[in-house]
Amino acid sequence: MGVDVGGSGIKGAVVDLGTGDLLTERFKVATPKPSTPRAVARAVARLVTRAEWQGPLGCTVPGVVLGGVVHTAAHIDPAWVGTDGTALIAAATGRRVVLLNDADAAGIAEMRFGSGRGSGGVVIVLTFGTGIGSAVFVDQCLVPNTELGHLTMWGGSAEHRASALARTDEGLTWAQWAKRVNRYLAHVESLFWPDLVIVGGGVSRDHGKWVPLLRTRAQVVPAQLRNNAGIVGAALAAAEGRAP
């Protein structure tokens, strides 16, 4: 089973590891406010119970994760910093847990089953939602915890102006928002020179409204697994028994 913890919602499902398809409905609850470690762990446990899942659990958080410990918390309560998230969620659920960065999980899923399948070279997966998550792959190997949404632009973190949340909060049209995304992508390209950029996250369901407006050197394609990619990638990590 994979559970994807986001800034606004927590969603999970049991996953077919051969195809990447969800074997159950997608269970979802609102992210607790405040999103403290214990509150989130209890919410994850409720999803596991609803799914009647007894096996290993993969879980994501929107932050840097090293050895199961969370080191940043941009869109969840700052109490997560320094927390052994793996141990906490394992205690709450009674399951063996693998914890990893949310965008890394989405990227793993897209590279296995989605738009990055079979792609070599440098591939960057970007998830646009409450913030901007990133996963960077070199010849299919993940460089974990890249956090490219926090590149400095417009006098602060790029995600403050180019995330999907920024579009809705500021009432931007798709064209206005795509202009910002293009500036952000140009900055990313100047640093990493990717061969392929995959764009996903909560806004990926509307990809036809903004992806055709993007202008980059690299090919840009929408994520195939859309907003389920984090769930699928978390389940893959659980099956392998380790974070990337």
- Domains of the chain (ranges, CATH numbers): 2-104+228-240 (3.30.420.40), 116-225 (3.30.420.40)
**What's the 3-state SS for 202-232?**
HHHHHHHHCHHHCCCCCEEEECCCHHHHHHH
Chain CA centroid to CA 194, Å: 19
- pLDDT digit string, tens, across residues 180-232: 999 999 999 999 999 999 999 888 889 999 999 999 999 999 999 988 999 99
Dump the DSSP string for 104-147. Answer: HHHHHHHHHHSTTTT--SEEEEEEESSSEEEEEEETTEEE----
* Backbone angles phi and psi of 229, in degrees to 5: -60, -40
- pLDDT digit string, tens, across residues 119-148: 999 999 999 998 999 999 999 999 999 999
Task: Give buried/exposed letters for 202-215 (b at 16+ CB in 10 A, else e).
Answer: bbbeebeebbeeee
Angle between helices 102-113 and 229-240 (to 10 degrees): 90
- Strand pairing category for 2-5 and 132-138: unpaired
- pLDDT at residue 202, as a whole number: 81
Query: Is the model's pTM score more than 0.85?
Result: yes
Whether the predicted pLDDT of 8 surpasses 90: no
Cβ neighbours of residue 228 under 8 Å, at least 6 residues apart? 13, 22, 26, 109
* Backbone angles phi and psi of 80, in degrees to 5: -65, -30
